[in-house]
Amino acid sequence: MKILVPVKRVIDYNVKPRVKADGSGVDLANVKMSMNPFDEIAVEEAIRLKEAGKAEEIVAVSIGPAKAQETLRTALAMGADRAILVETDDEVEPLAVAKILKAIAAEEQPGLIMLGKQAIDDDSNQTGQMLAALMERPQGTFANTVEVDGDSVTVKREVDGGLETVKLTMPAIVTTDLRLNEPRYASLPNIMKAKKKPLDTKTSADYGVDTARRLTTTNVSEPPVRQAGEKVADVDALVAKIKALGIA
């Protein structure tokens, strides 16, 4: 079985995003960029499935600027076998990303497509579900545990009330939640090796997908700032404050 792992290059999760003064977006100039953390979990899970003998090949895909090559090299250094970059300088929306991924899946015929449940830049939480819809395949979103058995995959999902387990007929789409695994760090020898692994570069036109945006962002602003209150000296003062709120 082949596993396709779409990964996105995003602002590093440790960086506090700054909104541009003109309201046009978030300032990404000279900001550290990394692989979307949820996608890193997807790469790790794919590698573990390969190590467990459940998968033969892992193909990482990214849709983004030329620099998304770095993100793909990270996936290769972690253990993916080869990579495809669909190069574009446009901000491609989840629906168009799903269409491109569908076209790639038609060529690659993966048994599983694993990706993060959301990207930490636009927080859309859509691509996996949209891809599953377009491919008319099942989806296991917000995965906490993934077990492959023959031609089906059992996914334990993190839902609002606790956990839910579903069984999906493969090919299937799985989106990862935080607790699925802890991604490994790529070792130096593996980073060196990754430079020699195959990386194909394509464009969205190669897949016949129109990436024109459907949504227009008219403004990006800072959220309202909450003012710090006061610190109290001891528990008695805290008790008095809490009682004043009328809750005890």
Partner 1 sequence: MKTLVLVEHDNASVKDATLATVTAAAAIGDVDLLVAGSNARGAAEEAAKIAGTGKVLLADDAAYEHQLAENVAPLVVGLMADYDAFVAPATTTGKNIAPRVAALLDVMQISDIMSVEGDRTFTRPIYAGNAIATVQSSDDKLVLTVRGTAFDKAEAEGGSATIEEVSGKGDSGLSQFVSQELAESERPELTSAGIIVSGGRALKDAETFEQYITPLADKLGAGIGASRAAVDAGYVPNDYQVGQTGKIVAPDVYFAIGISGAIQHLAGMKDSKTIIAINKDEDAPIFQVADIGLVGDLFKILPELTEKL
* Contacts to partner 1 from residues 139-198, by CB under 8 A: 139-142, 144, 154, 157-169, 177-179
Question: For residues 123 and 16, is the Cβ–Cβ distance under 8 A?
Answer: no
Question: For residues 11 and 17, is the Cβ–Cβ distance under 8 A?
Answer: yes
Among 98, 100, 174, 186, binds partner 1 (CB under 8 A): 98
Residue nearer to partner 1 on the CB measure, 188 or 248? 248
Question: For residues 41 and 128, is the Cβ–Cβ distance under 8 A?
Answer: no
Number of residues that bind partner 1 (CB under 8 A): 79
Q: Which residue's structure tokens are 């977006």?
A: 25
How many C-beta atoms surround the C-beta of residue 27 within 10 A? 13
Among 50, 138, 186, 194, binds partner 1 (CB under 8 A): 138
CA–CA dist 137, 123 (Å, integer): 23
Residue list 29-68, contact with partner 1 (CB under 8 A): none
CA–CA dist 132, 123 (Å, integer): 18
Residue nearer to partner 1 on the CB measure, 192 or 240? 240
Residue nearer to partner 1 on the CB measure, 188 or 247? 247
Residue list 68-97, contact with partner 1 (CB under 8 A): 93-95
Residue nearer to partner 1 on the CB measure, 87 or 91? 91
Token pair for residue 84?
């495809």
Spacing of C-alpha 93 from chain mean position: 14
Among 123, 185, 189, 196, binds partner 1 (CB under 8 A): 123
- Judged by CB under 8 A, which stretch of 82-90, 103-111, 201-209, 215-223 contacts partner 1? 215-223
Question: Among 44, 60, 51, 52, which residue's Cα sits nearest to residue 3?
Answer: 60
Phi, psi of 43 (to 5 degrees): -60, -45
CA–CA dist 20, 23 (Å, integer): 6
Among 26, 52, 106, 192, binds partner 1 (CB under 8 A): 26
CB of 120 vs partner 1, minimal distance in Å: 6
CB of 191 vs partner 1, minimal distance in Å: 26
Q: Is 229 in the site for partner 1 (CB under 8 A)?
A: yes
Question: Among 134, 137, 79, 93, which residue's Cα sits nearest to residue 112?
Answer: 137
Question: For residues 186 and 78, is the Cβ–Cβ distance under 8 A?
Answer: yes
Q: Which amino acid is at 138?
A: P
- Judged by CB under 8 A, which stretch of 53-61, 66-74, 128-136, 195-203 contacts partner 1? 128-136
Among 87, 91, 122, 206, binds partner 1 (CB under 8 A): 122
Residue nearer to partner 1 on the CB measure, 188 or 222? 222
Residue nearer to partner 1 on the CB measure, 5 or 10? 10
